[in-house]
Structure 1
Amino acid sequence: MAQLDDSTNRLYRIRRTIMQMLRDRDYLVADYEVSLTKEQFRDKFGDEPKRDDLVISKAKRSDQSDQIFVFFPEEPKVGVKTIKTYAERMKSELVFRAIMVVQTSLTPFAKQCLSEMAPKYQIEEAELLVNIKEHTLVPEHQVLSAEEKKTLLERYTVKESQLPRMQDRDPVARYYGLKHGQVVKIIRPSETAGRYVTYRYVV
């Protein structure tokens, strides 16, 4: 069977990474969606997929009402009109979070539009060709729930601000969609202890 062309192959890889990322964020993603082959991708979306056809909608495992959209804008540089179109769809379907897989960037007005919509509507920008978690230098990260965070702070009698920090723009923080105030547990292999655990507070 003929190979996928470069742009189609790129979309296939990005969509697979998105599915892995959504599952890591605790959204309901089936195994077959993560393991979709290139042939299955082509059968489903055609030889030259329209980016608009790739839209994904998922719900949180722990709360079905907490949903997210993933949009794939057609235009290389996303403008205000596209942002407003997505915002209208989110509003009509009561979805308050989305990821926008951009090809290059946003216009300055589109960026301003996004910041004006926050915090009610949170739309992240992403260009996810590879899964950062699969990089050998990235240790295992586990996002703590509010209850786990409370237990951690009580156990060590520390304030969250006393924990080592992680910027919310950090690539791993962006992968997990971490927000200010969340705490992540980082597990690294250690030759002496077997594993070494640290915590980071997102700022």
Structure 2
Amino acid sequence: MVTSDEETTRLYRIQRTIMQMLNDRAYIVSDYELNMTKHQFMEKYGDYLKRDALSIQKTRRNDSSDQIYVFFPEEPKVGVKTIKNYTNIMKNENVTRAILVVQTNLTPFAKTCISEISSKFHVEVFQEAELLVNIKEHVLVPEHQLLTDEEKKTLLQRYTVKETQLPRIQMNDPIARYYGLKRGQVVKIIRPSETAGRYVTYRYVV
């Protein structure tokens, strides 16, 4: 079946957001992948675009052992069988992180399955509708930078505070989900300021 133009445009926009997201999370993404036009996207994936053709694996810039998969399941409502297929792929490749881009949602059993494997596999679920526009490009969203463990330690020493005394950001906050933040991490937020040029705050992920 030939993919409709509307569907192609939708998948093109979703894939573009995913590439920007991976780049912002410090995974290796080429300029070509970041700047791909819709025409190039169609040339690459063709008229008979199957969602799973968009699935990719990426490596972190400064740590080749840290890899992530992005899966685009074909079925509208993802079940346990699909989750198990993906975790088998991850196990074979020794990859513990994945992003699942689902059309609508997961079955209740699939949700349970993801929470049961969460000690071994970190699987994030995004609905396609959430990725049509990159939340980071919204005018009200300031720049976020994840601190390394070393930077976090320095920050806490400099201000003589415990991490739990910092202002908080919820793990399910849309921007925290975009960056794939985990509980216990600290993120630096940089806002433009008319007086100081920029205004920096820190948030502890809970």
TM over 0.5: yes
**Contact residue 8 and residue 48 of structure 1 kept, 8 A:** no
Q: CA shift at 1:40, angstroms?
A: 0.7
Aligned to 2:8: 8
Does 2:180 correspond to 1:195? no
SS at match of 1:184: strand
State the alpha-carbon separation in 2 of the partners of residues 189 and 80 from structure 1. 45
State the alpha-carbon separation in 1 of the partners of residues 80 and 65 from structure 2. 27
Aligned to 1:185: 188
1:152 pairs with 136, 149, 155, which one? Answer: 155
SS at match of 2:29: coil
Q: Which runs of 4 or more aligned residues in structure 1 lie more than 2 Å from their structure 2 counterparts after TM superposition?
A: none
Aligned to 2:112: 112
2:141 pairs with 133, 138, 142, which one? Answer: 138
The range that moved more, 21-30 or 187-196, is 187-196
State the alpha-carbon separation in 2 of the partners of residues 48 and 188 from structure 1. 43
- Aligned-residue identity in percent: 71
Which runs of structure 2 are paired with 1:71-150 in the superposition (5 Å)? 71-127=71-127, 128-150=131-153
State the alpha-carbon separation in 2 of the partners of residues 71 and 23 from structure 1. 17
2:164 pairs with 154, 161, 165, which one? Answer: 161
Does 2:63 correspond to 1:60? no
Partner letter of residue 144 of structure 2?
A: H
Partner letter of residue 27 of structure 1?
A: Y
Partner letter of residue 145 of structure 2?
A: Q
Q: CA shift at 1:14, angstroms?
A: 0.5
**Contact residue 153 and residue 160 of structure 1 kept, 8 A:** yes
When the two chains are superposed, the root-mean-square deviation of aligned CA atoms in Å is 0.8
Q: CA shift at 1:7, angstroms?
A: 1.0
Q: CA shift at 1:49, angstroms?
A: 0.9
Q: CA shift at 1:189, angstroms?
A: 1.0
Does 2:53 correspond to 1:50? no
SS at match of 1:15: helix
Kindly provide the CA deviation profile for residues 49-83 of structure 1, in whole angstroms up to 9, marking residues without a partner as x.
10111111100111111110000011111100100
Q: CA shift at 1:48, angstroms?
A: 3.3
Q: Give TM-score scaled by structure 1 length.
A: 0.97
Equivalent residues, number: 200
Q: CA shift at 1:119, angstroms?
A: 1.8
State the alpha-carbon separation in 1 of the partners of residues 22 and 165 from structure 2. 30
Q: Which runs of 5+ in 1 are unaligned?
A: none
